Amino acid sequence: MGIINATPDSFYKGDILLGMDGLINKAQQMIAEGVDIIDVGGQSTRPNATLLTIQEELERVIPIISALHTLHPQLIISVDTFYSEVAKQAIAAGASIVNDVSGGTIDEAMLPTVAALQVPYICMHMKGNPQTMQQLAMYDDVTLEVLDFFIKKVHDCSAVGIKDVIIDPGFGFAKTITHNFTLLKNLSQLKILQCPILVGLSRKSTVYKTLNITADEALNGSTVLHTLALENGANILRVHDVKAAKEAVQLLAAYHQ
């Protein structure tokens, strides 16, 4: 899954290009590199990010989704949003997956909306919201709490009629670096839910703070953690750098032949 951030305040600037053409060109490059899904988001979810209104988010993501769908009708596009109205309009514009970092906790209409749209739902674990999550990074057992969260959420999704749920443990969302490494080590425990597992570790602070570098320098470290995630059961890697991630997938597949 390649990340297209239609926001000027992402924690990583590597894919922030000027204007619609720059973002479309970035997506075209990802397609050439073999991306399977393009994830389009307009809301920065880094710690303490300013919350956009529904209208602001729509103005950022809908033109990109519409343009990509027109250029590449077969491309699988996910919309990264926690607003049900954005999800609805994004699916109408050509997206086919809803990726919700709040797991339906910010907009209570999200789960029934996704059920009505009959599309897959990526449910992520996060405590609070991007403005409060860093103060909530406290767990007795982070793996157990995340697992318990997903047991309930998968049930809730099924109860409203969502047929396909993908789970994302939410690396960096209300979690310290230690929590992130613990979750990565125990990732295979989430397989008990029998849902595909999505991992978002690309160029995050777990990589660059551990190595005492910047996000711009964190490609190699990201690839190492992506490889560990794949080895521990990840099914989808959400990444800034498609070529490197595809190479990790390919090499690991050859290793296991």
Quick check: is 238 catalytic?
A: yes
Q: Which of 13-27, 70-84, 138-152 has the lowest mean pLDDT?
A: 13-27
Interatomic CA distance for residues 66 and 72, integer angstroms: 10
Quick check: is 243 catalytic?
A: no
Residue 91's pLDDT band (cuts 50, 70, 90): very high
pLDDT attached to residue 20:
84
Residue 100 pLDDT > 50: yes
Residue 15 pLDDT > 50: no
Residue 14 pLDDT > 50: no
SS3 labels along 58-82: HHHHHHHHHHHHHHCCCCEEEEECC
pLDDT attached to residue 134:
73
Do residues 136 and 145 touch, judged by C-beta distance below 8 A?
Answer: no
pLDDT attached to residue 9:
57
Mean pLDDT calculated for residue range 94-120: 97
Domains recognised in the chain with CATH numbers: 2-255 (3.20.20.20)
> Residues 204, 209, 243, 246: which is the catalytic one?
204
Average pLDDT, the chain: 93
Interatomic CA distance for residues 35 and 130, integer angstroms: 27
> Residues 26, 88, 153, 238: which is the catalytic one?
238
Residue 44 pLDDT > 70: yes
